[in-house]
Chain A
């Protein structure tokens, strides 16, 4: 009884609680007065996981000690929302302590993975995922759940499963402790029974030919995607067979029978007679009948014109084409009788009425002396001459159609009668409305002065330079117009550039979107502007370039939000590329025999665009492991830093006998920084420490005490590089030059002392659109210091093989031990010359000439010792540089040496 009374009280109090809770107002729809004048004392953020609190506060424009301005707060919330990760943001003020601002956010749920559960079979997981509007790592859009389900059901129906039912269930937050805004999408698919084809009926065409393409058979699932592919293939086949307007489909499906309407329509066949210069295949490709789906008189005339045009391009201006068309039962036969006429060239081009040198005019012509005569190009040449005269200030020049006369059985002479008219010159250049940019700066950027030839291109370019000048200073809406006054005497023109600078704009806040792995700091430090700087599109372009160069983004899009208070907020929308990569390779070499490598690299360590990699290589004579680390900003400055650790175990073999000459184990650690002085000039400074153990040495290979036992080499390595190549992987123009020095000294606790220097210079020059001349020369000199006479074997120079003097075995040039093993030297010279000729888009041939040798010491260098080789290489372009196959022949072969050698590699030789 008592318990019953207690229960009643409990129920009553619970109801009262619910009533009170119901009566309590929801989160208000009223905006509290924000400018109570209370400065921000503290900012509390709730619900934030994916970005830092600082970034959110920066975007919201909340700053300690500042008073909140409602307009700025609204802008801030909108700006933060544009970040793309939030679905809700509220900013409120603590009632008790108005200085405390509370920011509540709810991030959008992201799909961690999509889990498919399929009852019944028939379609692949890839098909289901491709037809799902939600994607892994994308944001969840709950409002589209129903649409996603019905879209997928529709796709399955098209694939032959009309009874398929789809249920998509977003499954809660991730495991405890993880970001709660990650969900798993469970996609439950009940495929139901498939619709099977009982029979396929082809209507309108013989079945035999059609069934080569329409492959769906009785018993197959009625898959309309597959059917459509087959219909397209059949349509393509009909077109290739010269059917004029083939119709494949529509199709229908009833009671298990698939009806497909196929009407191939009429055909045409074309025959060519009398053609020798152009083949039937080339001429057939010019015919418009397939495209038009008909044969008509006007289309035959079009075909004749096209054939004539093709012949004229080949220098046959007197080409005649006579078509004969016969049609029967929808089939057409068109016979083209061709009278090619002679091949005509231009014997001479002359001019009358000119004061400029005739040679300079002829440079602008297509139909010049020796060219194939094509009357279709005369108007192009007239237009070129007119433009040339305009660029010289002859604005009124008249270039009428030239006189063309026969100068022989296969020659034409062309004469232009030109009226030059008055030459116009700039008499005065004025600027109006230039403030606030200093007049001197405007004049400097104009680059026009009285006395200059009146050239419309120069005058327009000057306008663009002025626009750029103002735009770079924040005047994004600047207008520049040009007034031309031709009323001056003797062709003197007065130019006035009218400048309307408009409002000055400034950079506002930066909003980075899409950096889910990359930290904001890694992006912001690449930016070239500060908040409050004059707004400039040029700066944005440079920033975009810098962000690309980080190597962690697949795409970078930079834009600005609509202006407020003469300020542009900038949006950097990035798409991150996959940071990890694995490289695996295997091969076989003449010297190494089997070889293989595996490499792992990650180019966005800690979200800071740092790169770490490990590469392992193994062959029958070598095992090597290299661990590398790259930091683009060292000590907070844009000073790229590299560190490398290497462990290597190698056996040097005699090339002929394959006996081991010596074995070597090396441990090397190096670290250094790189400084870019100009876009094309950089310097590098490294420190390197190596422990080298050489053992099992054949006596003749030993040159010094350093060649035996364990040796510590401690060295510094400064270098400088000048690089203006257009493409480092396959250059067509530019210069690559540089010098590298290596100093090992007891001062750095080295057990050996020496100085090495390697200097190189390479030049690349495109001679034609398909031919590049490449030349390279390298010199290396080394000298022992403080009692060291011979350098340790790992520091000596070696030459010969695929990247130096081809035709010779790898490292085989220069001094050798009594057993024939190369022992390297203290000096080398190598020079290479290549003519890189493209044959097709991806294939090229390279005749080459190589020269070089290695000498024991600097004093023993003899020019007559230089060894030469020549040969021919093949190049096949790939995304990582050309695949290279070189056949080298020794030109200064010595007794016992092979005649030639084939080398295979990736990348150009230099």
Chain B
């Protein structure tokens, strides 16, 4: 049955060509070009691709290795904090001021660095500190430890907020529109 064999070869060749070329052709020929879209939402606030790109460009100037996802996470965190801050500092207090005062009130105000912790840090890093006396670097160490503690508590607080918030991210892929 050489005829059948021939037909099978043709079909197989056609399948290879179609399989390889089809998606690539489709990929090269996108049907639509995005003008703007939602990349994430936090409760009833949407974050748009255009906003993310603007922030990403700005962030890259300061940290060239930063990723879009990292920038988006920062934007989400900011929205979560702002939502809480606005409960205490409503408009017309500016966003930045509300955030600053809120973190001061909720986190910074509760942090005290005991001298013992500063001294421990000094002892552990005596070499790196160049052997200067403790008293001359005490304030700097306290500031550093305080900032570290603030960051730790802020992360923990944000985790709590995330647990209570309705958050969804559509960074790379659009969701299935139809079930």
Q: Which residues of A contact B (CB under 8 A)?
A: 2, 5-6, 9-10, 12-14, 16-17, 20-21, 23-32, 34, 46-47, 68, 70, 73-74, 77-78, 81-82, 84, 86-96, 101-102, 104-106, 141-144, 147, 172-173, 180
Instruction: Tell me whether B166 and A144 are in contact (CB under 8 A).
Output: yes
Q: Tally inter-chain residue pairs, CB-CB below 8 A.
A: 157
Chain B, Cβ-Cβ closest to A25: B27
Q: Which residues of A contact B46 (CB under 8 A)?
A: 77-78, 81, 89
Instruction: Tell me whether B35 and A87 are in contact (CB under 8 A).
Output: no
Question: How many Å lie between the Cα of A102 and that of B24 in the bound state?
Answer: 23
Q: Which residues of B contact A105 (CB under 8 A)?
A: 177
Answer whether A87 and B41 are a contact pair too, CB < 8 Å, given A12-B16, A13-B15, A104-B177: yes
Instruction: Tell me whether B35 and A78 are in contact (CB under 8 A).
Output: no
Instruction: Tell me whether A90 and B50 are in contact (CB under 8 A).
Output: no
Instruction: Tell me whether B23 and A21 are in contact (CB under 8 A).
Output: yes
Task: Tell me the chain B residues, 7-39 only, with Cβ under 8 Å from chain A.
Answer: 8, 12, 15-16, 18-20, 22-24, 26-27, 29-38
Q: Is B167 engaged at the interface, CB distance under 8 Å to the other chain?
A: yes
Instruction: Tell me whether A46 and B29 are in contact (CB under 8 A).
Output: no
Instruction: Tell me whether A31 and B15 are in contact (CB under 8 A).
Output: no
**Could you say which of A16, A21, A25 has the most chain B C-beta atoms within 10 Å of its C-beta?**
A16
Q: Which residues of B contact A81 (CB under 8 A)?
A: 38, 41, 44-46
Q: Which residues of B contact A (CB under 8 A)?
A: 5, 8, 12, 15-16, 18-20, 22-24, 26-27, 29-38, 41, 44-46, 48-51, 53, 68, 163-168, 170-179
**Could you say which of B27, B29, B38, B165 has the most chain A C-beta atoms within 10 Å of its C-beta?**
B38
Q: Which residues of B contact A6 (CB under 8 A)?
A: 8, 12
Known: A77-B37, A173-B179. 12 other contacts (CB 8 A): A13-B20, A16-B16, A16-B20, A20-B19, A20-B20, A23-B24, A26-B173, A27-B34, A32-B35, A70-B50, A91-B37, A106-B177
Q: Which residues of B contact A102 (CB under 8 A)?
A: 32
Question: How many Å lie between the Cα of A101 and that of B34 in the bound state?
Answer: 10
Contact partner, A90, options B37, B171, B179, Cβ 8 Å? B37
Report A247 CB to chain B, min CB distance, Å: 30
Question: How many Å lie between the Cα of A88 and that of B34 in the bound state?
Answer: 13
Q: Which residues of B contact A24 (CB under 8 A)?
A: 23-24, 26-27
Answer whether A2 and B8 are a contact pair too, CB < 8 Å, given A46-B177, A105-B177: yes
Instruction: Tell me whether A88 and B38 are in contact (CB under 8 A).
Output: yes
Chain B, Cβ-Cβ closest to A141: B166
Instruction: Tell me whether A70 and B36 are in contact (CB under 8 A).
Output: yes
Contact partner, B166, options A21, A95, A143, Cβ 8 Å? A143
Instruction: Tell me whether A90 and B16 are in contact (CB under 8 A).
Output: no
Chain B, Cβ-Cβ closest to A10: B15
Question: How many Å lie between the Cα of A70 and that of B68 in the bound state?
Answer: 20
Instruction: Tell me whether A95 and B49 are in contact (CB under 8 A).
Output: no
Question: How many Å lie between the Cα of A88 and that of B41 in the bound state?
Answer: 9
Instruction: Tell me whether B23 and A47 are in contact (CB under 8 A).
Output: no
Contact partner, A74, options B32, B36, B164, Cβ 8 Å? B36
Report B71 CB to chain A, min CB distance, Å: 12
Answer whether A20 and B27 are a contact pair too, CB < 8 Å, given A31-B53, A73-B35: yes
Report B49 CB to chain A, min CB distance, Å: 6
Report B72 CB to chain A, min CB distance, Å: 11
Report B96 CB to chain A, min CB distance, Å: 15
Chain B, Cβ-Cβ closest to A73: B36
Q: Which residues of B contact A86 (CB under 8 A)?
A: 38
Contact partner, A27, options B8, B24, B41, B173, Cβ 8 Å? B173
Question: How many Å lie between the Cα of A30 and that of B52 in the bound state?
Answer: 10
Supply 7 A–B pairs (Cβ within 8 Å), ascending by A.
Answer: A13-B12, A28-B34, A46-B177, A86-B38, A90-B36, A92-B32, A141-B166
